[in-house]
Amino acid sequence: MKKILIYISLLLMVCGGLFYGNYQLNKSAHHTQKTLVIYNWGDYLDPKLIKKFEHEYGYKVVYETFDSNEAMFSKVKQGGTSYDIAIPSDYMIQKMTAANLLKKLDHKKIKGLSNIDPTFLNLDFDKNNQYSIPYFWGTLGIVYDKRLPQDEQPKEWSDLWNPKLKKKILIVDSARDILGMSLIDLGYSVNSKDNQQLLAAKDHLDKLSPNVKAIVADEIKMYMADNEAQVAVTWSGEANEIMSRNKNMTYVVPKKGSNIWFDNIVIPKTSKNPEGAYDFINFMLKPENAAQNANYIGYATPNKKAKKDLDQEQLKNKELYPDEKLLKKLQVYNDLGMKYIQRYNDLFLEFKMITN
């Protein structure tokens, strides 16, 4: 009996050792020198480009997605996964830099930066592009069904409050964007920290509630393409996809102003394969790859040399590629700090509670 117990104990020790060894093996296999771990927004990179990159450079790409800048920030900060590439937005790059989460870029290792339109370089959130490389840019605007009567077709933010649009509007589930829309309509900055202005924007949104059919995320594309609603507040790339699937839909950026956003490629400090990260950056800076990605995703590319290979109908659309006059009225989000980000989230949540 004693020998049996000894054998059982030894067997359990061996099994435990094998389990631990397998765990460590799997953990390290997630990130070898020939693995590149990318953290990106959902459906924000043509899968064919991933395959092409793997074939050309010999890497195995591990691709993970996030649905908000804040979720991405938390995951990178926790450090549980060593991402080699992340693609945050303007204000979040500012926040990640301040939190010391990003590697400073070695521009000697970057090939093709001259392909980027100077308009999208050296912006306030990352002077001299010390930490980030432009990936996509776009706007927030209104998609609507051209079959609506003329007096119901929204061209400005204020038009969304038209009583004739009762239960006809879908809005994207984003506190910063929807509070920002309301702030602009009232003549305020999208970066307001004035409590009275924020309360006024929230009260203004409450008056919009009867017109809101639903507050949704990625499914907004499907609903609009399938004529489930007549109006939507969403981003330009989503609008482009909606229009490609439903020819009755059109997109407009209100002349009073809106948000212009920039998504850039960064290398987190915890990267275990920075050389692979530079390979990916250089790969995406090639005009043919930037054009392929833009044609697939539908957002505007900052790569000026890629434009000759873009869908020309898309390129000619002044709502997707705004002219200088409109660009001057567009506002970029700043990092407001945790206190005010939470304030925006709380106010938006209150609005959602009375809308749903």
User: How do the pLDDT tens digits run along the chain, 356 residues long?
Assistant: 444 444 445 555 544 554 444 444 444 444 556 999 999 998 899 999 999 999 999 999 999 999 889 999 999 999 999 999 999 999 999 999 999 999 999 999 999 999 999 999 999 999 999 999 999 999 999 999 999 999 999 999 999 999 999 999 999 999 999 999 999 999 999 999 999 999 999 999 999 999 999 999 889 999 999 999 999 999 999 999 999 999 999 999 999 999 999 999 999 999 999 999 999 999 999 999 999 999 999 899 999 999 999 988 888 888 888 988 999 999 999 999 999 999 999 999 999 999 97
138-260+323-355 matches 2-137+262-316 in CATH topology: yes
Q: Quote the pLDDT of residue 31.
A: 54
Q: Quote the pLDDT of residue 201.
A: 98
- CATH class, range 2-137+262-316: alpha beta
Beta bridge partners of 153: none
Q: Quote the pLDDT of residue 131.
A: 98
Q: Quote the pLDDT of residue 14.
A: 46
For the chain, the farthest-separated pair of C-alpha atoms sits apart, in whole angstroms, at 90
DSSP 181: H
Residues contacting 333, CB < 8 A, separation 6+: 89, 90, 91, 176, 180, 190, 191, 259, 261
Looking at domain 138-260+323-355, its CATH architecture is 3-Layer(aba) Sandwich (3.40)
Q: Quote the pLDDT of residue 7.
A: 47
Q: What is the pTM of this model?
A: 0.84
Domain ranges of the chain: 2-137+262-316, 138-260+323-355
DSSP strands (E only) in the chain = 35-41, 60-66, 85-86, 133-145, 169-172, 212-216, 231-235, 249-252, 258-265, 330-331
Q: Quote the pLDDT of residue 33.
A: 63
**Distance of alpha carbon 168 from alpha carbon 211, whole angstroms:** 6
Helix (H/G/I), strand (E/B), else coil: 328: coil
